[in-house]
Amino acid sequence: MKPNLSISIGKLKLKNPVLVASGTFGYGEEFEDFINLKELGAIVTKTITLKPRQGNFPPRTCETPAGMLNSIGLENPGLDVFIKEKVPYLARIGVPLIVSIASEYDPGEFLSVSRRLDKIRAVCAIELNISCPNLKNKKLIAQDPAATYRLVSKVRRVTGKALITKLSPNVTCITDIASAAEKAGSDALSLINTLGGMSIDTRARKPKLASICGGLSGPSIRPVALKMVWEVYQKTELPIIGMGGIIDTPSALEFFIAGASAVAVGTANFVNPGIVPEIIRGLKEYCRGHKINSIKELTGSLRCQD
C-alpha cells in the first residue's frame, strides 16, 4: 500500500503536507547541503516587506526551556531584491513557493507587494504575516477581527493566488480572528506564529534579548498551538497549516489529528536541518501502519470520549 500524502489548499496542490515555517528556512539555499529540497511539500519564505528592513538590535535569540525566543524584527532584503536574487533559485527547486509578506505601519504595502507577487509565475501562494510580534507597532492586525477582515478582503481583491492568513496566538479568542479571515476570502490559515515572551539574565538583571521581549517557538509552545488548531478546526471550514513545536513525526501527527490539513516545521530546522524529509517518511510509515489511504483521513480524526 502506498499512502497518498497529497493535499490541496485552495487551488494550491501539494504532493505532501509538510512545509517549512516562515523565517526558519531562509530562502531555501541555506539548506541545500542538508536535504533534497525537492522533497518538501512547499517552501514558505522568510517574510518579505516592500522596502528592505534591517531588523532589531542583537542579541536577537536566546534559548529557553524546550524552546527559544527570537526578536529578529523581519530583517529582509525587500521585495525588489527578493524578486531579483531569491526567486530564480526558489523557482528552480520545483517545489510550490509560498511567499510570506508583511508591513509594519502601512497596510497598503500588503496590497502593493501582493500585486507584484501576483504577476510572478513561480509564486504559488501568498501568506499574510499579520502576526509578527517583533515590530514596534505592538498592536497586531491579527489581534483584531475587524482589521483582519479589512486587510484580507483587500488583498483578496488584488490576487488570484492562494491566500493564507497567518494567525497569532497572542489573542483572547483565536476563532474570532479565524472566522474573520475566512469571511474575507482567505483560502487557508497558518497557525500559530510565536507566543510573546521574555527571558532575563539574573546576574546582570538584563533582558536576554536586546528588544526585551520576543517570540517563543519550539516544543514548549506545542500544546498551545495544538489547542488553537483544534478550536479553529471546529469553527471554520478552511484548511489549516498547523505549526508550533513540531520536532518529529509524532508531534506532526498530533497536528493532523487535531485538525490540520498540513503542517509546517520551524525551529526544528535549526536543531536538525534534515528533519522535514524524516517527518515525510514518518508520516508515510504511520499511514501504512494504520491502514490510512490518504493523509486527509487523519485531519481532525481526534477520538474524544463521549
Ligand X SMILES: Cc1cc2nc3c(=O)[nH]c(=O)nc-3n(C[C@H](O)[C@H](O)[C@H](O)COP(=O)(O)O)c2cc1C
Residue 39 binds other proteins, judged by CB under 8 A: no
Binding flag, residue 273, other proteins (CB under 8 A): yes
- In the complex, the smallest distance separating the C-beta of residue 118 from other proteins, rounded to whole angstroms, is 26
210 counts as binding other proteins under rule CB under 8 A: yes
Q: Of the candidates 42, 60, 82, 163, which one interacts with other proteins according to CB under 8 A? A: 60
Residue 215 grid coordinates: 517570540
Single residue of 3, 19, 24, 116 touching ligand X by CB under 6 A: 24
Q: Does the footprint of ligand X cover residue 21 (CB under 6 A)?
A: yes
Per the residue annotation, which of 62, 124, 132, 287 is the catalytic one?
132
**34 contacts other proteins (rule: CB under 8 A):** yes
User: 20 - beta bridge partners?
Assistant: 265
Asked if residue 223 binds other proteins (CB under 8 A), the reply is: no
Residues 6+ apart with CB under 8 A from 137: 104, 105
Backbone angles phi, psi at 239, to 5 degrees: -65, 145
Q: Of these, 170, 194, 236, 261, which contacts ligand X (CB under 6 A)?
A: 194
Q: Does 70 bind other proteins (CB under 8 A)?
A: yes
Q: Is 62 a catalytic residue?
A: no
Give the whole-angstrom CA distance, residue 30 versus residue 17.
Answer: 21
* 159 counts as binding ligand X under rule CB under 6 A: no
How far apart are the C-alpha atoms of 252 and 266, rounded to whole Å?
12
Q: What's the CA gap between 150 and 62, in Å, rounded? A: 35
* CA pair distance 170, 156, nearest whole angstrom: 24
DSSP string, 228-245: HHHHHHHH--S-EEE-SS
**Which CB atom, from 38 or from 115, has the smaller least distance to other proteins?**
38
Minimum Å distance from CB 66 to other proteins? Answer: 6
Q: Give yes or no for a contact between 120 and 83, defined as CB atoms under 8 angstroms apart.
A: yes
Q: Does 249 bind ligand X (CB under 6 A)?
A: no
Q: Which residue in 16, 159, 251, 267 binds ligand X (CB under 6 A)?
A: 267
Residue 41, class by beta-carbon neighbours within 10 Å (0-12 exposed, 13-18 middle, 19+ buried)?
buried
Side chain identity at residue 297, one-letter code = E
Catalytic site residues?
Answer: 132
> Which parts of this chain interact with ligand X (CB under 6 A)?
21-24, 46-47, 70, 72, 74, 100, 129, 132, 166, 193-194, 217-218, 221, 243-246, 265-268
